[in-house]
Amino acid sequence: MSKHLTSLPEWKALAAHAAELKNVHLRELFAKDSSRGTKFTAEAAGLYLDYSKNRITEETVKLLIALAEASQLKARTEAMFTGEKINITENRAVLHVALRAPKTEKILVDGEDVVPEVHAVLEKMAGFAEKVRSGAWLGYTGKRIKNIVNIGIGGSDLGPVMAYEALKHYSNRDLTFRFVSNVDGTDFAEAVHDLNAEETLFLVASKTFTTLETMTNAHSARTWALATLKQTEAIASHFVAISTNEKEVAKFGIDTQNMFGFWDWVGGRYSMDSAIGLSTMLAIGPNNFRELLDGFHDMDVHFRTTPIEKNLPALLGLLSVWYTEFFDAQTVAILPYDQYLKRFPAYLQQLTMESNGKHVTLEGKTVDYQTGPIYWGEPGTNGQHSFYQLIHQGTRLIPCDFIGFSKTLNPLGNHHDLLMANVFAQTEALAFGKTAEEVKAEGVADALVPHKVFEGNRPSNTILAEKLTPRLLGSLVALYEHAVFTQGVIWQIDSFDQWGVELGKVLASRIIKEIASDTELKHDSSTNNLITRYKSKK
Ligand code: F6P
């Protein structure tokens, strides 16, 4: 039984320390220690983390590490890596780390080594990807496949889309990729409106193969494809499935030979490096996909073996706990300064918020502290001309993660220097701000001075890497996966279930039937009225 978090002496020490630090400005902290900018840094798996612009001292780091130790972070990490069933509400192991384990590793689940199966699926995926990429896999009418449409939602969509966008530079440009997720028919209609079914391959990606959105889109895809291909036997050449549910795949009519499997110990939001990543492999090729997996593994090894004070995911996780608990921060902004990472904040939203948006502990007790913050963001520099105003001068504290690269994949005049100058400028402005004296010294009229003051003292992390490669992307994603895990360990919650999505699903299935029939509505007066109005106008 875990100890009550807020009664831990380590928690109390942090709370007292935070009260002391509340009125300390980053300007002071930097002035006091000229080595601060290199001291609060850590590096691993191609990623350099500068966390010096946080409202912390060496004492803070010491106290956060003490909290992590009291929370058994190391033991919990070992439990995850060795296949213990740490997803207790679903009685499942949590082994996304096995998806990128080298062949030589052994990881047991219920006494069985899962690593050989992982590699067998990877080989099957590679064989298939080579066939499609080389043109050996033909459509039913003998035409080469030119379009790949991934149908999935949540973890079966966000990871694949994010990775496709992030690694577009490495992708086969002869293939067109589309991603359909929303049950809104517009998503499907727009995705296929200019495609020829004879040249189109659908990847139906769903762990359960029962998700309403995905199954509805998959059935529409079948109807759409058969309108051109006519024969049901054509489905085998144009549909493959990625799932853990062989029975449902067969029921849908997809040949299970054309199914790529994974396992219940892979959570949906942790699955982009499983068979769910088939679209990624089709886009960038099997060798680049292996590089991606190696990047994940680099970070796994770092997280598992490095002391907390130099451990990137642990530090990142602990820093967000620090602001969430002791500075009333409600959100974290993810600000990648790389256009290829435009879907990274959206991907992280599911990873972080579906994992740590929980209100009870592992033991089912209601927490008396905050858990997962809201993650959001946009690629730089676009956000600067939109919401940064609030981060700089608003009333809320918003810790930010800036992500940038030394080298661009698209050298174009001085664009990249301009882009990166903005990363450094933003973190500097947030931390140091501009005092009233500085504003006055510029000759600003007295009445305008308060409007032009930047308080500063706004925390940020900067993550720098050399170049966005498949390997680097793997490390970056694993960094956040393990940061989320670290947070969950401190908060004593199950980061791997998602019961909060169930109620809406159940109610929707009841309402779907009510819309299609004349049964009496037995909801509240608002819901009854809205359904009635919808039915009368549709
Ligand atoms: O939204 C709930 C959820 O279960 C996610 O956790 C998951 O990624 C998504 O639905 C899709 O599930 P599936 O891959 O089973 O279709």
Q: Give 177-218 pLDDT, tens digit per residue.
A: 999 999 999 999 999 999 999 999 999 999 999 999 999 999
State the Cα–Cα distance between residues 405 and 315, nearest whole angstrom.
21
Structure tokens belonging to residue 531: 């359904």
> In this predicted structure, what is the pLDDT of residue 1?
64
Q: Quick one: 423 exposed, middle or buried, by C-beta within 10 A (0-12, 13-18, 19+)?
A: buried
Instruction: List, in order, residues 6 or more apart from 252 with CB less than 8 Å away.
Output: 204, 209, 215, 218, 241
Task: Name the catalytic one among 193, 363, 385, 537.
Answer: 385
- Name the DSSP letter for residue 350: I
415 is catalytic: no
pLDDT beneath 50, residues of the chain: none
The b-or-e profile of 336-354 (16+ CB within 10 A means b, else e) is bbbbbbbbbbbbbbbbbbb
User: Rounded to the nearest 10 degrees, how much is the dihedral formed by the CA atoms of 526, 530, 532, 533?
Assistant: 130
Please report, as a single letter, which amino acid is at residue 209: F
The phi and psi torsions of 531 (rounded to 5 degrees) equal -65, -45
28 is catalytic: no
The phi and psi torsions of 168 (rounded to 5 degrees) equal -55, -35
The phi and psi torsions of 41 (rounded to 5 degrees) equal -140, 160
> In this predicted structure, what is the pLDDT of residue 3?
86
Residue nearest to atom 10 of ligand 1 (CA): 154
Chain-centroid distance of CA 41 in Å reads 23
State the Cα–Cα distance between residues 261 and 242, nearest whole angstrom.
6
> In this predicted structure, what is the pLDDT of residue 87?
98
Strand, coil or helix: 194: coil
State the Cα–Cα distance between residues 462 and 336, nearest whole angstrom.
10
> In this predicted structure, what is the pLDDT of residue 2?
77
For residue 269, the ligand 1 atom closest to its alpha carbon is 8
Q: In what order do the strands lie in the sheet with 259-261?
A: 176-180, 147-151, 200-205, 239-243, 259-261
Mean per-residue pLDDT of the chain = 98
**Cα 300 to middle of ligand 1, angstroms:** 24
Q: Which residue has the tokens 């001085």?
A: 414
> In this predicted structure, what is the pLDDT of residue 104?
97
State the Cα–Cα distance between residues 409 and 389, nearest whole angstrom.
29
The b-or-e profile of 128-147 (16+ CB within 10 A means b, else e) is bbeebbeeebebbeeeebbb
Residue nearest to atom 6 of ligand 1 (CA): 268
**Cα 122 to middle of ligand 1, angstroms:** 22
State the Cα–Cα distance between residues 45 and 472, nearest whole angstrom.
7
Peptide bond into 77 cis (omega under 30): no
Q: Are 94 and 87 in contact (CB under 8 A)?
A: yes
354 is catalytic: yes
Q: Are 48 and 463 in contact (CB under 8 A)?
A: yes
For residue 498, the ligand 1 atom closest to its alpha carbon is 6
Ligand 1: residues with CB < 6 A are 153-156, 206-208, 211, 214, 268-269, 354, 498, 501
Task: Name the catalytic one among 106, 131, 365, 505.
Answer: 505
